Chain A
Amino acid sequence: MKSLLALCCFVLLLKCADASIINVGKSHKTQTIKKAIELAQPFDTLQIENGIYKEGNLIVAKPLTLLGQKQTILDGENKHEILTISGSYFRIKGITFQNSGYSSMNDFASIKIIDAHDFIIEQNRIINAHFAIHVSNSNRFVIKNNHITGTPAEEQSTGNGIHLWKCSKALIANNNTIGHRDGIYFEFVTESEVLNNYSEKNIRYGLHFMFSNNDKYISNTFHDNGAGVAVMFSHHIAMHYNKFTLNRGGSAYGILLKEISDGEVYANTFSNNTVGVFMEGTNRIHFKHNKFYSNGYAMKVQASCNENNIENNNFTGNTFDVATNGSLVLNTLSKNYWDKYEGYDLNKDGIGDIPYRPVSLYAMIIETNPVAVMFLRSFMVSLLDKTEKIVPSITPENFKDDKPAMKPIALN
C-alpha cells in the first residue's frame, strides 16, 4: 500500500511538471474558487487563501490540486453539497469544510467523489457535515490525516464520516472521525487498508464493513461508539493491532462478526466493552494473541459459528469469559490464558492438566432469561456454577480449552 501511495505521488509530480499555480482569494485577481476552476487547465494548482468561501456546490471534473491555508473555509451554509469531484489525479489538501447541507433525497457530502481514480484527500478538517467524505465507484486512492467532527442527531438523519461504496485499492489512514453515524463505512470495497484511524462517539458503528472482501484494518482505535464495530457478509478480512474500548450498551459489541469467513483477528485489545466479540454465522476465523480484559462478556460465540480457532489469547477480569446459545460446538479453543482457571499443572509445562470450560451455567441462564442478571455474583449462583463445572449438564460439554495456559501469555 505504501508503494501505491508513492506511485500516486510520483504520477502527480510528473503531471504537475508543466502546471501553473492559480492564487485564489480577496487580494488576488481570481476571487472565487468557481472562477478559478473554470480558468484552470488540467494539472494546475489552486492555492486558496484564508477566508470563508460560500459558493454553493463546486463541481470539479479536471485533474486539479486544491490547496488550502490554515483558515481556508468552504461553507455549505447548511444547504449545499460543497465539493463534487470526478475524474482522476486530483488532490484536496488542508481545507476546512463546514456546514454542508442535509437532504433526505440525496446523500449530501462535504467532499463527494464519483467515478474517480488515483487521487489524494489529505489534512482536511470537516465540521458539521451530513456525510463528510463520500466516495463511490472509485479506485486507487488515499484518504489520510483528515479530522472529521459531526454533530450527531438521529441515526436516520446523520451520515457517515468516511463512506466508501464500490471502491477498490483504497488506503484510509490516520483519520479522526467523531460524532457521525458510522465512523468509516465500507460497502463493496475490496483490497483496501484502514490504518491508524481513530473513531469515537459515532452513534452507530465505529467501522462498518458490508460485502467487502480482502481488506485489512490495522492499528485503529474504536472508542465509545454506539455499537462498536461491525464486519458483516465479507470474507478474507485481516484485523490486526486494533483497540476496541468502552463500547457499552444493550446491543453494543467491541466487534460484531456476522456471516464472515476466512479472516484473521490478531493482537487486538478488547477492553471495557459490554461484549468484546460477538460472532454469528462466522466461519474459519483465526483469533490469536488478543487481549480481552474487563469486558462484560469477552466473547459471545453463537452456535452457528463453525471451525473458528481461538488460541493464545489472554482473558482477564471479564465478568463472563464466553457465552453461547446452544449446545453445538464446532470451534476450537486452545492454549488461552483464563484468569478464572482453577486447575493445576503437575508436570510444570505451563499448560493446565485439566480442561477449562469458559461457558458458565449462569451465562447460559442469562442468555435464556435476561432478568436473571440480578443474581450476578450471588452466592446461590456461584454454588450452581461450581456444581455445573464439575458435572456439565446445561453448558455445552465440548466447549472447552483442553490446554489452558497457566500464566498470562506475554503480549506487547
Chain B
Amino acid sequence: MFKIIKYVMVDILRNKIVLAYTIFLLAISFSIFNIEDSSSKGLLSMLNVVLIIVPLVSLIFSTIYMYNAVEFIELLLSQPIQRKNLLLSIYTGISLSMIIAFVIGAGIPLLLLEGSPTAIIMLLVGMLLTAIFVSLAVLGAVITRDKAKGIGIAIMMWLYFALLYDGLVLLIMFQFSDYPLESAVVIFCSLNPVDLARILILLKLDIAAMMGYTGAIFNQFFGNSTGIIYAFTTMLIWLIVPLLIALRLFRKNDL
C-alpha cells in the first residue's frame, strides 16, 4: 500500500502542473501580503484564495489525474491487491501531494508574513479543504468512466459549492424570512464544506460583527469552542463520506 502511495506521490510531484500550482500559490500569497497595507486585508484576500482556488485546483487536477491513471489502475488490479487498498492509496497519494503543494505555496507565506492564530486556522482549513475536494474528485471519477463527463461533474461540483449553494440558501432565507431560521442556518452551513471553512476563519477574523447577531442559537453555537469543534468534525465527515461511497462503488465497478 505504501509503495503505491509513494509511486503516486512521486508521479504527481514530478508532474509540472503541481509544481506550477505551488509556484502560483507562492507568488499570489507573497504578493497579497506585500501589496495590502494591513494584515487583515491580506488575510481577507488569502481567504478568497483558500475558498475558491484551492477547491477548484484540487477538484480538477485530481479528476484528470484519476482518468489518466486508468491504465495504471487496471494494471495494478491484475496484481493481488485489494480494490479498497488501491483506491485508498491513490487517494492518499493525491491528497498528500496536493496538501504539500498547498502548505509550501500558501502555508509558508501565511506563517512567515502573518503568523497569527487566524493564519494557522486558515492553513488548517486549507489543508482540510484540499483533502475534501480530492475525495469528492475521486468520487466523481469513480462514478463515470467517461473523462469528459467526469470533468464536467468536477466543474459542476466546484460551481455548486463555491457559488450556487450560497445563492440558493440566500434565496431560501429571503423566502422564509418570516420564520425563525437560526437552527436551520447551522444545518445549511454544515451542508457545504466551503461555508464551514469560511465560518471557521471568520470566527477569528470578523468576530465583532458575528457577535452582533442577536439570534441566540447561531451566536451561541458559533460563538464558542463547541462551534469550532463541530465545524472541524463536520468537515472531516465531508472528507470521509464521499471517500466511503467511492470505495463502495469502486469495489463493484466493472472496469
Residues of A that sit less than 8 Å from B by CB: 248-252, 272-275, 294-297, 316-317, 319-320, 339, 365, 368-382
Q: Let me know if B177 and A368 touch, CB within 8 A.
A: yes
Q: Let me know if B212 and A297 touch, CB within 8 A.
A: yes
Interchain CA distance A373-B195 in the complex, whole Å: 12
Interchain CA distance A376-B47 in the complex, whole Å: 12
Interchain CA distance A248-B214 in the complex, whole Å: 11
Asked if B198 is at the interface of the complex by the 8 Å CB criterion, the answer is: yes
Residues of A within 8 A of B52 (CB): 379
Task: From known contacts A371-B173, A372-B170, A372-B173, infer whether A248 and B41 are also in contact, taking CB-CB under 8 Å.
Answer: no
What's the least CB distance linking B143 to chain A, in Å?
A: 26
Interface-side segment among B80-88, B125-133, B181-189 = B181-189
Which 9 pairs show the lowest CB-CB distances between chains A and B?
A296-B209, A296-B208, A250-B214, A319-B209, A380-B166, A274-B212, A248-B211, A371-B181, A319-B206
Describe B's contact surface by its main secondary structure: helix
How many chain B residues touch A (CB < 8 A): the figure is 40
Residues of B within 8 A of A378 (CB): 166, 195, 198
Residues of A within 8 A of B174 (CB): 369
Task: From known contacts A250-B213, A294-B208, A379-B51, infer whether A369 and B177 are also in contact, taking CB-CB under 8 Å.
Answer: yes
Residues of B within 8 A of A272 (CB): 208
Q: Let me know if B219 and A371 touch, CB within 8 A.
A: no
Q: Let me know if A380 and B167 touch, CB within 8 A.
A: yes
Residues of A within 8 A of B162 (CB): 379
Task: From known contacts A295-B208, A296-B210, A369-B177, infer whether A376 and B38 are also in contact, taking CB-CB under 8 Å.
Answer: no
Residues of B that sit less than 8 Å from A by CB: 37-38, 40-41, 44, 47-48, 51-52, 162-163, 166-167, 169-170, 173-174, 177, 181-182, 184-185, 188-189, 195, 198-199, 202, 206-215, 218-219
13 contacts between A and B (CB under 8 A): A250-B213, A274-B209, A274-B212, A339-B38, A371-B213, A371-B218, A374-B218, A376-B209, A377-B47, A377-B206, A379-B48, A379-B166, A382-B48
Q: Let me know if A374 and B199 touch, CB within 8 A.
A: yes
Residues of A within 8 A of B163 (CB): 379-380
